[in-house]
Amino acid sequence: MSEARDQLIELIKDEAVFHGDFTLTSGKRASYYIDLRKLSLDHRAAPLIGQVMLDLIDDIDGVVAVGGLTMGADPIASAIMHQGVARGQVYDSFVVRKEPKDHGRGRQVEGPDLEGKRVVVVEDTSTTGGSPLTAIEALKKVGAEIAAVAVVVDRQAPAKARIEGEGYEYRYAIGLDDLGLEAQ
C-alpha cells in the first residue's frame, strides 16, 4: 500500500463515514454513508485521491482523459488531471451531464473532443454502477472508447458485477474492508 492510500483511508474513516439511517442514490437503505464529496473537495484529500487514482489506472494503455457523471466524478477527474501533471503524465478531464443541455451546443459531454479516444470513467463511490453506466452511454454517443471504470471507494454492492456484465473493466482503490465496514 502506498503512503498516499494509507493517508486517504484514514481521512475517509475519520471524516467521511457517517453512521445512521441513510437512503443511497440507488434507493437502498444503509446504516452508514460514505460522503466522499466532503473529502474530494478538501485541500488535504484531493491530492491524495489524485495520487491513489493515478496508481490505480497507471497500467491502462492509451488513456487520454478521465471523467464521469457530474457531480461525483468531477473532483476525482480534476484531482487525477492535476496530480498527473505533477508526475509528468497527461490526462485531460471531462464532465458528463445527466442530460444534454437544452441550449448552446446542446452537449452532454463537456471537455476535449473524445471521438476515437480511450477514456477512464471515474466515480467517487459506487453501489449499483448506475452513474458510471449513464456516463458510458453518453460517451459512446460521442465516439469515446471506454478503457475502464475506476472508483475511489467501492461499496461491495452490485456495481462491479453490473459494470463487468456490460463488458467494462471495473477497478477500485479502496474497499469497505479497508474502512472497517461491512457490505450491506
Copy the grid coordinates of residue 132: 458510471
- Rounded CA-CA distance 131/148 in Å is 14
Q: Is 101 annotated as a binding residue?
A: yes
Q: Is 20 annotated as a binding residue?
A: no
Matching residue, cell 477512464: 120
- Rounded CA-CA distance 147/91 in Å is 13
Q: Is 126 annotated as a binding residue?
A: yes
Q: Is 125 annotated as a binding residue?
A: yes
Q: Is 124 annotated as a binding residue?
A: yes
Q: Is 107 annotated as a binding residue?
A: no
CB 56 within 8 A of CB 27: no
DSSP string, 121-135: EEEEEESSSHHHHHH
- Rounded CA-CA distance 131/59 in Å is 24
Q: Is 131 annotated as a binding residue?
A: yes
Q: Is 155 annotated as a binding residue?
A: yes
Copy the grid coordinates of residue 112: 476535449
User: CA angle at residue 143 from 98 to 165, to 5 degrees?
Assistant: 70
Contacts with 20 (C-beta within 8 Å, 6 or more apart), sequence order: 31, 32, 33
Q: Is 78 annotated as a binding residue?
A: no
Binding site residue list for orotate: 127, 155
Binding site residue list for 5-phospho-alpha-D-ribose 1-diphosphate: 97-98, 101, 103, 123-131
Binding site residue list: 97-98, 101, 103, 123-131, 155
